[in-house]
Structure 1
Amino acid sequence: MRMIAKGNIAYYCWLILLLILILQGGFAYLHQFEKGLIVTNMRDQVSWAFYIGNFTFLVGVAAAAVMLVIPAYVYNWGPIKEIVVYGELLAVAAISMCLGFVLVDMGRPDRFWHLTPIIGIMNFPSSLLAWDAIVLNIYLLVNLTVVTNILYSLFMKKHYNHKIVLPLVIFSIPMAVSIHTVTAFLYNGMAARPYWNSAILAPRFLASAFCSGPAILLILFQVLRKTTSFRIKDEAIHKVAELMAYAMFINLFLFFAEVFKEYYSNTQHIVYMNYLFFGLNGKMSPIAIWGWLSVLFGVIAFLIFLFPKTRKNFVAMNIGCVMIYTSVYIEKGIALIIPGYTPTVLGEIYEYFPSIHELRISAAIFGVGFLLFTLMIKVSNSLLFEELSIETIKNREQ
């Protein structure tokens, strides 16, 4: 508790902000729990919405830990090995938020146990949702095992067990790919939803994930470098930024390939993309501005990260990180879910936009995730850089 309570005024303000978000969202969820999902703007026409959009985005953030694992352990690149633990911690926090969004999206949250491996009735292996629950829980368990083993070894002043950690770290690479691939399969397996029924949805999910997750980490590394004893070489930051540029290119290429297919073929399925970027029946779509903003931010961020001069400028790089995070958040949220349902298979147009309850509850879940991530970072920094160990605790007691 002492290491968590220690911090400057900015740290305390950050914790207070997160606690306020959690508290206000908790009251909103109590109201939703009492009244049901009618307090949201979800209806029969749009049964997946803001909650599931956030879930999809955060699965990608969790998968992005592999962007640090591959250069560190597959190519044995030293400068990144020192920071892999932060990617693992981000994955743990992101999956925790994913589970939170699944819980609040359920009309009967007391049935959440059905999604729990072993004890739940999951309809495995026929249900894709069961596969998603299994791979997410395995990935969470793998990351928790790796992180706790490393940090516990530091606390005990021992070297972590290579026979346990290294195989799990390598195993986390295909698991990171699988969690977002299975999530994509939940969408593109629906033949009645042409907007989602695309073979390139899974690679698009992976490419965008490898942009948004590292964007958080790059900003985090700079904050830690200025406020703690954490040291990271610019070389490592620039290498992660370079890898992000490759992922951004693949993501944009696949997106524009999809746009070309829709507008060049000009079939009846173009109606879904028209709704995203323009609207239907001469009426502007309420999400059109968000669709254009996602594309604009994605292209600008790619250009920033493409050229070494701007990529290695920390101000420009941070602007690019915020832009790509925002772009992917919109792309996997509003720009993915809503057009898939609008119009419905019966031709109905229900113009969904998140209710205040959905926004408040989502803010609370993000607050819980960021609080968990903050506290885990605080503990890990104490063990990694402030030399907190069982020996120092014994010395204090004496």
Structure 2
Amino acid sequence: MIEFIKDLLRHIIKGNKLYYTWLSVLVLVITAGAIAYFRQLDEGLIVTNMRDQVSWGFYISNFTFFVGVAAAAVMLVIPSYIYHFKPIKEIVLFGEMIAVMAVIMCILLVVVDMGKPFHAWHIMMTPNFPSSLLVWDVIVLNGYLIINMSAVTYVLYRAAHGKEYKMSIMWPIVLLSIPWAFSIHTVTAFLYNGLSSRPFWNASIVAPRFIASALCSGPALMIIVFQIARKVSEVDISNEAIQKIAELIAYAMGLNLFLYAAEIFKEFYSHSIHLAPMDYLFFGLEKGGEHHNVLVPFTWIALFCNVTAFILFLMPKMRHKFTTMNLACVMILVGVYIEKGMGLIVPGFIPDTLGEIYDYLPSATELIVTAGIWAVGALIYTLMIKTAIPIYKGELSLIPKEQRRKIPAH
């Protein structure tokens, strides 16, 4: 084991100039984020642009997005373990690693949004279980992290011994991970959905929309990450696996746009008093002779990106070309990131309970802290990939060198 750990550390620190440059950039961004966060701890959340009128902002926007990325690992788990689709089965572990990365980022985003991380102690001491949805969110997020870390650790442990994993052990993990993946985004949706004083969120369609958009953005991120991984490393990811993920995105994106269109129709056709948040999102609101429209450009960019990406994914010729497929993936990430982020969180507070309209955009502190958390996630995933590949190739092993052989990934 000691020799294995030494070999592992040697593989982690070994790399070309591009690898060292990448790690250096991530460390610099993490350092900048940490400095900005300590300033926030010292001076308080006043350094952010969140106020009483808009008390959730950029941190929770990113949290909502990455919960969807984490949940999307189920898009690889089902065809891999249930239907034994070989191309997906060869890369499912890398998808589970993305889930681990995303959940850790979600936890960090919640911590920085608290103001003081010690506030989490109150949840532990007075959980109000099962009435508090916040407690349920803590349970499902940490549970999902444990499930995916268990799967990744077990598969790599067996690979380090030159053996394939046993389905008798993986089946309970798989059967638990599938409903759990849906639960993490469902409970997150219920956090908004259960707030009756916020009509923009208080709709039963929020949870299905969350799931549908998660099954678009998560796999889109996976496609891009997998292509980068196979270019800069020796990991074997087939085109067939990537094309199958792209096909699944097309179906999910169609459902996501349908649900979004249904919500838009309901709000604008009924033209009730609760139209204000949606009106603010798409056209802006007039109050006191001032036009409040800071989110309008972002909303239309998101809608354009989502519709265009759906059209590209829907056409097999476009979907099979890597240029147009990658363009569509980027557009989905941009569109869903805006739609589920600032386009979901901020309008829920507009107007506030006193009718006031506060135009929120993140401060420099929020942007830098969030960038630091993104860099933490990227660093975690880089190191996981750097560890997993040599284990799969048999370069890192817990068996004697003279008995080693190249083992298959699955």
Q: What is the TM-score of this pair, normalised by structure 2? A: 0.93
Q: Partner residue of 1:74?
A: 82
Question: Are 1:102 and 2:110 an aligned pair?
Answer: yes
Deviation at 1:229, TM superposition (A): 2.2
- Once residues 354 and 228 of structure 2 are traced to their aligned partners in structure 1, the CA distance between those partners, rounded to angstroms, is 51
Distance 1:151 1:324, change over 3 A: same
Q: Which stretch has the larger CA shift, 40-49 or 159-168?
A: 159-168
Match of 1:214 among 203, 219, 222: 219
Contact 1:229–1:385 under 8 Å retained in 2: no
Q: Partner residue of 1:381?
A: 389
User: Which secondary structure does the structure 1 equivalent of 2:351 belong to?
Assistant: coil
Match of 2:320 among 312, 316, 321: 312
Deviation at 1:83, TM superposition (A): 0.6
- Once residues 334 and 350 of structure 2 are traced to their aligned partners in structure 1, the CA distance between those partners, rounded to angstroms, is 23
Percent identity (aligned): 55
Match of 1:276 among 281, 297, 303: 281
Q: Which residues of structure 2 form unaligned runs of 5+?
A: 1-8, 405-410
Question: Are 1:237 and 2:242 an aligned pair?
Answer: yes
Question: Are 1:260 and 2:237 an aligned pair?
Answer: no
User: Which secondary structure does the structure 2 equivalent of 1:283 belong to?
Assistant: strand
Give the AA of the match of 2:29. L
Q: Partner residue of 1:11?
A: 19
- Once residues 156 and 388 of structure 1 are traced to their aligned partners in structure 2, the CA distance between those partners, rounded to angstroms, is 9
Question: Are 1:165 and 2:170 an aligned pair?
Answer: yes
Question: Are 1:338 and 2:343 an aligned pair?
Answer: no
Deviation at 1:64, TM superposition (A): 0.4
Match of 2:134 among 126, 129, 132: 129
Match of 1:248 among 242, 245, 253: 253
- Once residues 165 and 7 of structure 1 are traced to their aligned partners in structure 2, the CA distance between those partners, rounded to angstroms, is 33
Q: Number of matched residues?
A: 393
- Once residues 229 and 182 of structure 1 are traced to their aligned partners in structure 2, the CA distance between those partners, rounded to angstroms, is 38
User: Which secondary structure does the structure 2 equivalent of 1:269 belong to?
Assistant: helix
Q: What is the TM-score of this pair, normalised by structure 1? A: 0.96
Distance 1:36 1:393, change over 3 A: farther
Deviation at 1:386, TM superposition (A): 5.2
Deviations along 1:347-374, whole A, 9 cap, x unmatched? 1111111011101100111111111011
Give the AA of the match of 2:170. V
Q: Which stretch has the larger CA shift, 214-223 or 128-137?
A: 214-223
> RMSD between aligned alpha carbons?
1.6
Question: Are 1:359 and 2:367 an aligned pair?
Answer: yes
Question: Are 1:296 and 2:304 an aligned pair?
Answer: yes
Deviation at 1:392, TM superposition (A): 6.3
Q: Partner residue of 2:331?
A: 323
Deviation at 1:155, TM superposition (A): 1.1
Query: Counterparts in 2 of 1:23-62, with a 5 A limit?
Result: 23-62=31-70
Over 3 Å off, 4+ runs? 113-116, 391-396
Match of 1:112 among 120, 125, 131: 120
Deviation at 1:247, TM superposition (A): 0.5
- Once residues 393 and 264 of structure 2 are traced to their aligned partners in structure 1, the CA distance between those partners, rounded to angstroms, is 48
- Once residues 373 and 233 of structure 1 are traced to their aligned partners in structure 2, the CA distance between those partners, rounded to angstroms, is 20
Distance 1:312 1:127, change over 3 A: same
Contact 1:242–1:305 under 8 Å retained in 2: yes
